[in-house]
Amino acid sequence: MTVTKLFERELGEYFEDIWKCIRCGFCNSVCPTSNTSQSYLASLTSRGRIILLQAYFQDLLSKSLDHEKIQELMEYCFGCRRCLEVCPPGVRIPNLIWRVKKLNRRQGFLKKIIFTNFGRMEKLFSNFPSLSNLFLHSYIGKTLLEATIGVSKNIDFPSFNRSLEKWINNKRKPANYRGRLAYFIDVFTNYHEVALGREVVELVEKLGYLVTAPPQKEAGTLLLEEGLIDEAYKVAKENVESLYESVRNGAKIITSSPAAYLALKKDYPELLGDTKSRIVSENTLDIIELLLKEYENGVIDFDNVLENQLVYHHSCFTKASGLTKNIKHILESSGYRLKEIDKCCGIGGIWGLNKKHYNLSIEIGSNLFNELNRISLPVASQSETCRIQIKNNTLVEVKHPLLFVKNRLKIDKSRLSSFT
């Protein structure tokens, strides 16, 4: 079998997407890395990447897809998925590029080990938060992180906390409840932004739900973005098996992170293509969706007395997940007048944390940072990594949308009577 044929097989069903591309350039117009000071180079743009693939499979490109240079160009897709919204023929660009990245034989062994065991390591570090934080914020820690997985020393990485998962499972459970919710947390909320996770749990408990944290691994988005497809598949499989059990036991799956939501709603069914992942997907809802349902059913209401202005930041993953409308609705219903900003912050999951991409990441985000500083209003952004980037590069306060609405929320206890 020729190398070309071998690669064609590796791309699987996504191979056909290469030929669907009509090179209209719509993807370029929304792709964060296709609108920088470097993207006058056509090969550094989203369309350029697909053109290279079209050329390769017509024997018009002498470099192989696993060539260092080609792989370097593929790295400029950080999987934001904005292109999916605008591509006329529906080319699944990020999914295709992940599979091209998989062909990278030069992926550092250590880096691969670290990404594959990312969830485990986070868990380990969170068992000793004080020690871990000392290491994380020390010169040696930063140097080691840069040398192994390439995290830029400029990044102020958020501190570790004790696991939210443990906290939920050790928590006393209410005797009566209206329904069961299984929280799919993802690593960041689980080990870093634990306070947000606690707010989610306490709120839904007030709404009469029993919350559990079933056994779970990280969402695996990072693995996909690094082209570690087989590893992502394993993670997806494990998570789906566990969450499916919760669904069978009558629970709905709840998320608060757009990455976790996207994984369950779209990535896992696409990766696994099985019935269980489809059922898990159908039974997944974001905390904002839950609140909106309760609001529409009259279970909750808002004090509309205070009318404040707020910036709503459209994070890439929230856009891709289709949750934007719901988030805006709940924020507006709770009395906020929204100033919307639809600009990428440049972080791209962990892409912008990498020392190789750090400067470009800041360049991509600079329009957003400048505008946020100029407006100087609090910011609601659903994505955890967008919040890190905004915190690190602006002077404004940035929080998950839930934290803006929770204090304005009134629960009509008479509506909670239907306890199971």
Partner 1 sequence: MTSYFSRITGRDVEFFEKLLGGKNVSIEEEELVANAVDAYPGGFYKPEIVLWPTSSEEVSEILKYSYEKRIPVYPKGGSTGLTGTVPIYGGVLLSLTKMNKIVNIYEEDMQVTVQPGIIYDRLNKELEKYGLFFPPDPSSGSWCTIGGMVASNSSGLKAVKYGTTREYVLGLEVVLPEGRIIRLGTRTFKYSTGFDLLKMMIGSQGTLGVFTEITLRLRNLPEYYQTALAFFPSVESAVKTVYQIVRRGLDVAAVEFMDEKMMKAVAEYRKIDLPESKAMLLIETHGTRLAASETMEKCIRIFEENNAVDIRVARDAEERERFWAARKGAYPATLRLGKYMLISDIVVPLSKLYDAVQKSYELGEEYGIHSSTIGHFGDGNLHVHWSAGNNKDKIEDLHKANDKLTKWTIEIGGSISGEHGIGTEKKKFVKEQFREAFDLMLKIKKSIDPRCVLSPGVIFDLEEVLS
Cβ at position 42, least distance to partner 1 in Å? 4
Q: HSE-up of 86 (CA within 13 Å, CB side)?
A: 16
For 70-77, the CB contacts below 8 A with 24+ separation are 71/100, 71/101, 71/103, 71/104, 71/106, 73/43, 73/44, 73/48, 73/49, 74/49, 74/100, 74/101, 74/104, 75/101, 75/351, 75/356, 75/357, 76/33, 76/44, 76/49, 77/31, 77/33, 77/46, 77/49
Q: How far is the CB of 396 from partner 1 (least distance, A)?
A: 23
Assign residue 376 a region (left: φ > 0; alpha: ψ between -120 and 50; beta: otherwise): left
Residue with tokens 């566990």: 242
Residue of 40, 130, 176, 414 that binds partner 1 (CB under 8 A): 40
Which lies closer to partner 1 via its Cβ, residue 22 or residue 306? 22
Nearer to partner 1, 19 or 167 (CB): 19
Output the smallest distance, CB 380 to partner 1, in A: 22
Q: Which of 5, 9, 13, 24 binds partner 1 (CB under 8 A)?
A: 24
Distance, CA of 394 to CA of 413 (rounded, Å): 40
- Give the three-class secondary structure for 405: helix
Show contacts with partner 1 in window 150-189 (CB under 8 A).
none
Which residue, 69 or 105, is less far from partner 1 as judged by CB? 69
Assess 341 for contact with partner 1 (CB under 8 A): no
- 394: which 2 tokens? 């602006």
Residues 6+ positions from 59 with CB-CB distance below 8 Å: 4
Q: Which of 43, 133, 242, 366 lies at the binding interface for partner 1 (CB under 8 A)?
A: 43
Torsion of Cα atoms, 257 then 260 then 261 then 263, to 10°:
150
Q: Are 240 and 214 in contact (CB under 8 A)?
A: no
Smallest gap from residue 89 Cβ to partner 1 (A): 4
Cβ 292 to partner 1 shortest distance, Å = 18
Closer residue to partner 1, CB minimum distance, 114 or 338? 338
Find the binder of partner 1 among 9, 23, 120, 337 (CB under 8 A): 23
Cβ neighbourhood burial of 273 (10 Å; 0-12, 13-18, 19+): exposed
Q: How far is the CB of 294 from partner 1 (least distance, A)?
A: 25
Residues 76-135 that bind partner 1 (CB under 8 A): 86, 88-90
How many amino acids of this chain bind partner 1 (CB under 8 A)?
34
Could you say which of 7, 11, 14, 28 contacts partner 1 (CB under 8 A)? 28
Nearer to partner 1, 19 or 233 (CB): 19
Contact 234, 202 (CB under 8 A): no
Contact present, 255 and 287 (Cβ < 8 Å): yes
Q: Toward partner 1, which CB reaches closer, 70 or 271?
A: 70
Is residue 29 close enough to count as binding partner 1 by CB under 8 A? yes
Q: Which of these ranges, 34-42, 105-113, 140-148, 208-216, lies near partner 1 under the rule CB under 8 A?
A: 34-42
Q: Which of residues 49-78 bind partner 1 (CB under 8 A)?
A: 51-52, 54-55, 58, 60-63, 69-70, 73
DSSP string, 175-190: SS-SEEEEE---HIII
Q: How far apart are CA 146 and CA 141, in angstroms?
A: 9
The H or E element that residue 119 is part of is helix 118-127
> Does 12 contact partner 1 by CB under 8 A?
no
* Given 26, 125, 135, 233, the residue binding partner 1 (CB under 8 A): 26
Smallest gap from Cβ 215 to partner 1, in A, equals: 37
Q: Which stretch binds partner 1 (CB under 8 A): 44-52, 124-132, 196-204, 251-259?
A: 44-52
For residues 83 and 196, which CB has a smaller minimum distance to partner 1 in the complex?
Answer: 83
CA dist 216 and 90 (Å) reads 32
Query: Can you tell me the distance from the alpha carbon of 322 to that of 303, in angstroms, rounded to the nearest whole number?
Result: 27
Q: How many of the other CB atoms lie within 10 Å of CB of 410?
A: 10
At 260 the three-state DSSP class reads helix
Least distance to partner 1, CB of residue 20, Å: 5
Q: How far is the CB of 217 from partner 1 (least distance, A)?
A: 34
**Which residues form the interface with partner 1 (CB under 8 A)?**
16, 19-20, 22-26, 28-30, 40-43, 45, 47-48, 51-52, 54-55, 58, 60-63, 69-70, 73, 86, 88-90
